[in-house]
């Protein structure tokens, strides 16, 4: 199984801050990395696929980058509505695996 | 508009079989997508259970493979999950999910999720 390691596991930031979440794969996964946002009590929502492609309807303050082993999700200017957990997922090989999640709180 | 909706019992006894169905609307399950099940124990992360394709191919997580069966009903545009010999660790919210395509295995549409508790 390809292990996906996210860091940090949680963070607290202020509205307007630039926030970066990292995801490291246990092996080279090319650009087969996807990001999801999950608000409390809600369904996960696809933000970014194939490392850097913004899903339709997702605000442009979200962006993704990386290839191979190291990947990044960036929120360019944090908004109160971004308070959520964020998960990365590799789609390179079976079994499909997720990172442990990063919980983003607003100061 | 693509929609998925899980249904099934919210309470299952230990050692019994968990059975869930996902009704799909807005897209045919005969499309070139994988139809997946993902679960999330309370307060924990996401776990891929497996997926199925209308052509008949199924792939399961190795950790669950011995207990899981997935199937499709193309006439009703539904797909199903069965998991036998459940224990308390199988308590989770179960989501049915669609992938972007056969090659693009990201999850773009999710059901609302159904909480299944395993308890006597």
Are A101 and A10 in contact, with CB atoms under 8 Å apart?
no
The token duo for B88 is 């308390």
Rounded distance between C-alpha atoms, residue B14 and residue A63, angstroms = 43
DSSP string computed for B93-120: EEEEEEESSSS---EEEE---EEEEE--
A15: which DSSP letter?
T
Q: Sort out which chain B residues have CB atoms less than 8 A from A46's CB and list them.
A: 106-108
Q: Is the pLDDT of residue B5 over 90?
A: yes
- From A35, which residue of chain B is nearest by alpha-carbon distance? B106
Task: Return the percentage of chain A with pLDDT > 90, whole number.
Answer: 100
**pLDDT tens profile B23-72:** 999 999 998 999 999 999 999 999 999 999 988 899 999 999 999 999 99
Judge whether B54 is closer than 8 Å to chain A, CB to CB. no
Q: Which of residues 7-26 of A touch B (CB under 8 A)?
A: none
**pLDDT tens profile B62-111:** 999 999 999 999 999 999 999 999 999 999 999 999 999 889 999 999 99
pLDDT at A35: 98
């Amino acid at each position: 199984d390809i292990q996906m390691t996210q860091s940090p596991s949680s963070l607290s930031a202020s509205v307007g801050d630039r926030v970066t979440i990292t995801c490291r794969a246990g092996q080279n996964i090319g650009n087969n990395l996807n990001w999801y946002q999950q608000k409390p009590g809600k369904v996960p929502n696809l933000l970014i696929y194939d490392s850097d492609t913004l899903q339709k309807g997702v605000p442009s303050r979200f962006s993704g980058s990386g290839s191979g082993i190291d990947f990044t999700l960036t929120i360019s200017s944090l908004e109160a509505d971004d308070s959520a957990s964020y998960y990365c997922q590799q789609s390179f090989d079976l079994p499909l695996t997720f990172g442990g999640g990063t919980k983003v709180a607003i100061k | 508009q693509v929609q998925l909706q899980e249904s099934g019992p919210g309470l299952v006894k230990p050692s019994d079989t968990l059975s869930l169905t996902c009704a799909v609307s807005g897209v045919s399950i005969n499309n070139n997508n994988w139809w997946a099940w993902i679960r999330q124990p309370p307060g924990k992360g996401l776990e891929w259970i497996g997926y199925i394709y209308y052509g008949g191919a199924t792939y399961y997580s190795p950790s669950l493979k011995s207990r899981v069966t997935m199937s499709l009903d193309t006439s009703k545009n539904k797909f199903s999950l069965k998991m036998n010999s459940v224990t308390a660790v199988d308590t989770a919210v179960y989501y049915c999910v669609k992938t972007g395509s056969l090659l693009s295995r990201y999850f773009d549409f999710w059901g609302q999720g159904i909480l299944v508790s395993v308890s006597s």
